[in-house]
Amino acid sequence: MKKVEIKGIIPPIVTPMYEDESINTEELRRQVDRQIENGVHALFCFGTNGEGYILNGAEKELVLKTVIDQTAGRVPVYAGTGCISTKETIEQSKMAMDAGADVLSIITPSFAKASQAELYTHYERIAEAVDMPIVLYNIPMRTGNALEPETVARLADIDNIVGAKDSSGNFDNLKAYIDLTKDKDFAVLAGNDGLILKCLMAGGAGGIAGRANIYPHTMASIYNCFAAGDLEGAQRWQDSVMSLGDVIKLGNPNTIIKKATELLGNPVGSCRAPFNQLSDEALEALKKVLAENKEKGLY
């Protein structure tokens, strides 16, 4: 198994699309370069902001191979390979391994309720099937299934399960992930942009940050300042992106992140239907915040 240090700001890179909803690989390549040139520490294909939930298998493979080719080893590339069934998750994970991904990020199964025992067995079987680092992905408000801290601690004993992303929005849950795995070789990442610095200060490793699609340099600076011991600077960068929070509540967060990325001059297109509409109120609020943040020098 390749050794990859799980750390820093990792954008769940948006998947650019044309008007007919086909994948715009040329713009995807430009977004890869934009992210890396602005200092992000890895890239995450078809996460939530990358619309992994609505891409088919062939599209995921196309996105992943494009990103890996354009990245050319400059930063690690993560692939979101979690599906509802263990069988399909293993198939997608093997695809990502063959394509040359560095890390797998595997979301919990969704729709049907799973016990903690079922979740443990699910991840155990996947880990046995692929010789790759795996980062668990907890986002219960989207999947309906929460990975409890005790289950994460048990899974951390499996050699190639090396980290977890917590998008519960509950800092106590994130901190429990950190506290219960602090004696293991295990990295915990914040999945909520507002908790990145708190995660780092509690012993976490960074964050998978949707807002890095909008402001890659700003988000990367949170981690870079923290790593350099500049807590004041890290807090300043962390606070600078919080103005987006109220706007993100006005619609589907993925739609708002992608629209904001486009409004800043990146032709990434809309989210795939039906998740592609914003109210006039949300659009105007978004434009106002982006203009204010431009004056503050965010990018």
Q: Buried b vs exposed e over 10-43: b needs ≥16 C-beta within 10 Å? A: bbbbbbbbeeeeebbbebbbbbbebbbebbbbbb
Is 198 part of the annotated catalytic residue set? Answer: no
Tell me whether strands 161-166 and 134-138 are parallel, antiparallel or unpaired: parallel
Is 137 part of the annotated catalytic residue set? Answer: yes
User: Counting runs of H as helices and runs of E as strands, what totals does the chain give?
Assistant: 13, 8
What one-letter code names the amino acid at 220?
A
Cβ-Cβ contacts under 8 Å for 222 (sequence gap 6 or more): 9, 196, 197, 200, 207, 234, 237, 238
* Active-site pick, 137, 177, 215, 223: 137
> What's the rounded Cα separation, in Å, for the pair 193 and 202?
15
Closest CA to 219 of 181, 263, 261: 261
The DSSP-derived string for 206-266 is: EEE-GGGGT-HHHHHHHHHHHHTT-HHHHHHHHHHTTTHHHHHTTS-HHHHHHHHHHHTT-
Distance of CA 114 to the CA centre of its chain: 23
> What's the rounded Cα separation, in Å, for the pair 17 and 26?
10
* Active-site pick, 7, 165, 258, 259: 165
Q: Which residues are catalytic?
A: 137, 165
